[in-house]
Amino acid sequence: MIPAIVGIWLVALLSSPVSAPPLDVHLLVESQFNYLSSVRTTTVVTWSTQGKTATKIGDRLTIRREDLGVRWRVDLKAGTYTEEKIEPPPAAKPPKDDIHTAGYNYEAEYDWTTRQSGRKTAIAGRPCREFVSDGDADYAQATVKFWVCDPVPGVSFAVSDSVLGMMRNDSSRRMVAETAAKRGKTWVLGVEEMQEPPIAPKMIVTVSVKTLDTTPLPATTFELPANVKKAGR
C-alpha cells in the first residue's frame, strides 16, 4: 500500500508544471523636459533579474541586492561607492496645499477625461495603443497622451514604473497608472505630458522606452565594478 502511495505521489510531483524564473530585462528609458525653449534630456538604463536590479543615470550607478539586503550607490566618475541597508518604503506624503498657500510649490490636481484615440504605434518593437486625457484644475490645464501595450510573457519587472516615475505631475501619474490598471495586464511604454500651470509657462515632458530586451544578463551586471573602492577609505 505504501509503495503504491509513494508511486502516485512521485507521478503527481513529476507531472506538475514547474514555473520558470522570470526573464531578465535590459531597459533604456529616455525623457525630455521642454521648458522656456530649452530641452533637458535624461537617460535611465536598468538591468533586472530575480531579486537584483542595477540602474544607471549618467555617472551614477545604483545596484539593489535583495539577496544581500543592501543597496550600493556607485560614483563611476570618482571610482567610489557607498553601501546602505534596504529599508521599508517611506510613509505616504500628506495632501498638498491649495494654490493660495502653496504658491510656487503648488501642484495641480486635475479632473481627467480619458479616451482611446484609435491610433497605434510601435515603441521599442512593441505594438502600442494610444490614449489621450484632458485635465482641468483650478487655474491650470493639462493634456496627456500615453501608449500601452501587452506585456512580454515571463517578465515580472515593473516596466511601467520606470516610465511613470519620470513624469512630473502626481495627478497625471496616478491617472495613467489607474487607466492602464483598468485594462488588465498592460505596460505603459510612452507618455507625453503637457501642462499649463497657473503661475508658470507651459511645460512638456515626454518619456519613452527606447530599449526593451530580455536576453539573459551576466551575473557581473549586479556586482560592484572592479575598479571602485568604498567612499572614505
> What type of residue is 164?
L
**Residue 197: per-residue pLDDT:** 74
Structural domains in the chain, sorted by start = 25-90+106-230 (2.50.20)
Beta bridge partners of 25: 48
- Give yes or no for a contact between 152 and 215, defined as CB atoms under 8 angstroms apart: no
DSSP readout, 80-114? EEEEEEPPPPPPPPPPPP-HHHHGGG-----EEEE
**Residue 201: per-residue pLDDT:** 82
- Give yes or no for a contact between 70 and 85, defined as CB atoms under 8 angstroms apart: yes
Q: Give the residue from 74, 91, 92 showing the smallest Cα distance to 83.
A: 74
Beta bridge partners of 67: none
**Other beta carbons within 10 Å of 169:** 22
pTM exceeding 0.85: no
- Give yes or no for a contact between 70 and 86, defined as CB atoms under 8 angstroms apart: yes
Residuewise pLDDT in 10s, the chain (233 residues): 555 554 554 454 445 455 788 999 999 999 999 998 899 999 999 999 999 999 999 999 999 999 999 999 999 999 999 999 998 877 766 655 554 454 445 567 899 999 999 999 999 999 999 999 999 988 889 999 999 999 999 999 999 999 999 999 999 999 999 999 999 999 999 999 999 877 678 899 999 999 999 999 999 999 999 999 999 76
**Other beta carbons within 10 Å of 52:** 19
Q: 7 vs 13, 18, 106, CA distance in Å?
A: 10, 19, 68
**Residue 48: per-residue pLDDT:** 98
Distance CA 190, CA 214 (A): 19
